[in-house]
Structure formats: structure tokens, C-alpha cells
């Protein structure tokens, strides 16, 4: 008997039960449930299970003594509220957003002429964001507006859940590139003048490029800059930031789309241009996160690898090789 297949089916069944509830629940009800679940995570569950220490440490690294302990705890609580709401929105997304109502969901924070110019050009485009706001709504909205993208993501271990979410993410014409081993596919899309979307705010390990992020060196994937340079691709850094609810005048949630930076690799020269580009898009992401830090995914260890650790690991690898 294939117990793994049975487990996957059971997980998918449980997910479908919750999905049915979310599809009929009102936005106000979803918001209340998210607040209740966040309270459980922050005040009832063991903190080791919720990565509370890592989250608090990351916030201290980013903001130092700018916030009191009480304010840090409030940011963590609101982060969980946002994450639980975002999970519900991901399930609801295919039924809630269309070209006819997308402007009821999103508004634009600043001048979007730069990104429109990039998308209408004959050059490839890299849409870049981080684990901030609702990155799923960002990608979906580009498809709604008639600019389908190839998004980079890790396939889920459960094949039934993976198929469900793949269908959910692709209903506007978007296509997925698997994160592991997808570099050649990304290069092929850019070579054909296409658009890829990816998140660029996770620790890149010892081989990453160290750039400043909230005042501390953070290992960052420089492959994005290299792709942009090689294929002459614009890098458009953006975000979808949750704004205040208005359940009376709006039927669903509300997000602000922001164009944080449009980076043209042709503007950079010299041997360190990859580093310059990586620093620029990292700084643009930081600027967006500072506007609503409670909407950032502080759970992952962004500063996991230090320059000193990277130097030691690379030296050991050279000796072993």
C-alpha cells in the first residue's frame, strides 16, 4: 500500500474542506479568522514552533532599537494576520479578480510609466519582488492586464496540491518555471523577449553576492543581475502592499501597487556592475518593506550567511576540489 499517496490524498481532502469555507466566507469574516489564528500563533502555540525567536531577531537586525519590545511583538502579530489573510486570498483569487473589477482591488501608488514602457518595449523584462505584501496578486494582475509572465516557484511536494495551485496561478495565462533547475528555462524566456517574475530576497548562501540590506550585509543571488546584463533585460522592482480595508464600498481586499525601481542594465559599467545592480534592486525592496514592515515575511533567515562564513566555506571547497 502506498502510504505516501494516501497521505497526499488526505492532505488534499483537508485542504479542499478549508477551501470550500474560504470560498463562501466574506472578506470581513476572513479578516476576523486571520486575527484569531494570529492570536493563537503569538500567544498560545510554543514559540519554537512559530519561529518567534528568528522573527524577533530579524526585526532587531533590521530596525535596531527603533521599536520597543511591545512594538516588535505587535509587528509580529500583524505579520501573522497578514499571512493568514493572504492564504485565504490565494484560494479566492481565481474567483475574485477579473479585468472588469481589478481596479476595485488594486490602486497605483506612483508613476507606472517606467514599467509600462519596459513591458511595451521589444526587450525582455524581469519582474522582481520579495516576500512582501501579496506577491501572488501581483503576478496574477499582470496576466489580467494582458501581460502574462513566466513565474519562478518551487513545486509543492503534494502533487494534488501542486496541481491545484498551479491551475490557480495560471488562470490568467501565466506559466510556471520550477525554481530548482529552472535557470535554462528562464534564460530561454528572456532570449525570446519574454517576461519572468521571481522573488529575490532569500539567503543565497556562500556563493551569493553580499549587498547592504537594512544596514547589514546579506547574501543575495547575483544571477538575476547576470541574466539582465546578458539578455539586456529591464529589471522592474515592484510590490503589492495591503491598504486599509473598506468592506462597505469594496467587495474584496484592497492593495496598492508600487513601482519601486526600474533598472536598465545598460546604465551600469565596470567589473562590478552585477554587484551594483544587485544592490540597487535590494535597496528598492528595502524601501518598500519599510513602508509596511508587518507585511514582510520575517520568518526566513535573510542574514543566515555572513561574509566571514562564506569566505571560510569557499576556502574549504577550494581545498576539497
**For residues 191 and 196, what is the distance between their CA atoms, to the nearest angstrom?**
11
Mean pLDDT of 297-301: 95
Using the predicted structure, report yes or no on whether residue 316 has a pLDDT greater than 90: no
Using the predicted structure, report yes or no on whether residue 99 has a pLDDT greater than 90: no
* Residue range 9-59, pLDDT digits in tens: 999 999 999 999 999 999 999 999 999 999 999 999 999 999 999 999 999
What residues have CB less than 8 Å from 268, skipping those under 6 apart?
Answer: 229, 276, 277
Contact between 264 and 234 under an 8 Å Cβ cutoff? The reply is: yes
Dig out the grid coordinates for 109 from the structure.
501608488
Q: What local confidence, expressed as pLDDT, does residue 103 receive?
A: 87
**Phi-psi bin for 278: left (phi > 0), alpha (psi -120 to 50), beta?**
alpha
* Residue range 185-207, pLDDT digits in tens: 999 999 999 999 999 999 999 98
Domain borders along the chain are 3-320
Q: What local confidence, expressed as pLDDT, does residue 270 receive?
A: 87
Using the predicted structure, report yes or no on whether residue 321 has a pLDDT greater than 70: no
What residues have CB less than 8 Å from 304, skipping those under 6 apart?
Answer: 203, 219
Mean pLDDT of 148-152: 93
* Residue range 230-273, pLDDT digits in tens: 999 999 999 999 999 999 888 899 999 999 999 999 999 988 99
- Looking at the chain, list the stretches that DSSP marks H as alpha helix, in order from N- to C-terminal side: 3-24, 27-43, 52-63, 69-96, 102-105, 113-120, 135-144, 159-169, 183-191, 223-231, 273-291, 307-320
Amino acid at each position: 500500500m502506498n502510504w505516501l499517496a494516501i497521505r497526499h490524498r488526505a492532505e488534499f481532502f483537508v485542504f479542499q474542506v478549508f477551501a470550500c469555507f474560504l470560498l463562501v466566507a466574506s472578506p470581513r469574516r476572513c479578516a476576523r479568522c486571520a486575527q484569531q489564528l494570529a492570536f493563537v500563533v503569538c500567544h498560545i502555540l510554543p514559540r519554537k514552533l512559530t519561529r518567534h525567536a528568528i522573527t524577533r531577531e530579524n526585526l532587531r537586525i533590521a530596525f535596531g532599537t527603533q521599536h520597543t519590545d511591545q512594538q516588535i511583538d505587535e509587528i509580529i502579530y500583524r505579520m501573522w494576520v497578514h499571512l493568514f489573510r493572504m492564504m485565504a486570498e490565494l484560494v479566492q483569487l481565481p474567483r475574485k479578480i477579473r479585468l472588469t473589477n481589478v481596479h476595485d482591488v488594486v490602486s497605483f501608488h506612483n508613476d507606472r510609466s517606467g514599467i509600462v514602457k519596459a513591458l511595451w518595449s521589444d526587450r525582455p523584462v524581469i519582474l522582481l519582488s520579495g516576500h512582501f505584501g501579496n506577491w501572488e496578486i501581483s503576478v496574477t494582475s499582470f496576466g489580467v492586464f494582458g501581460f502574462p509572465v513566466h513565474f519562478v516557484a518551487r513545486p509543492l511536494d503534494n502533487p494534488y496540491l501542486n496541481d491545484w495551485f498551479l491551475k490557480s496561478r495560471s488562470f490568467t495565462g501565466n506559466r510556471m518555471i520550477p525554481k530548482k533547475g529552472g535557470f535554462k528555462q528562464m534564460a530561454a524566456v528572456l532570449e525570446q523577449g519574454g517576461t519572468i517574475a521571481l522573488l529575490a530576497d532569500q539567503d543565497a548562501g556562500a556563493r551569493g553576492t553580499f549587498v547592504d540590506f537594512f544596514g547589514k550585509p546579506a547574501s543575495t543571488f547575483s544571477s538575476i543581475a547576470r541574466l539582465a546584463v546578458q539578455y539586456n533585460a529591464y529589471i522592474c522592482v515592484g510590490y503589492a502592499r495591503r491598504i486599509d480595508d473598506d468592506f462597505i464600498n469594496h467587495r474584496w481586499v484592497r492593495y496598492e501597487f508600487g513601482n519601486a525601481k526600474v533598472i536598465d542594465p545598460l546604465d551600469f559599467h565596470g567589473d562590478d556592475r552585477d554587484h551594483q545592480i544587485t544592490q540597487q534592486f535590494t535597496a528598492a525592496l528595502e524601501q518598500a518593506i519599510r513602508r509596511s514592515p508587518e507585511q514582510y515575511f520575517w520568518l526566513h533567515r535573510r542574514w543566515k550567511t555572513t561574509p566571514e562564513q562564506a569566505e571560510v566555506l569557499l576556502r574549504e571547497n577550494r581545498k576539497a576540489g
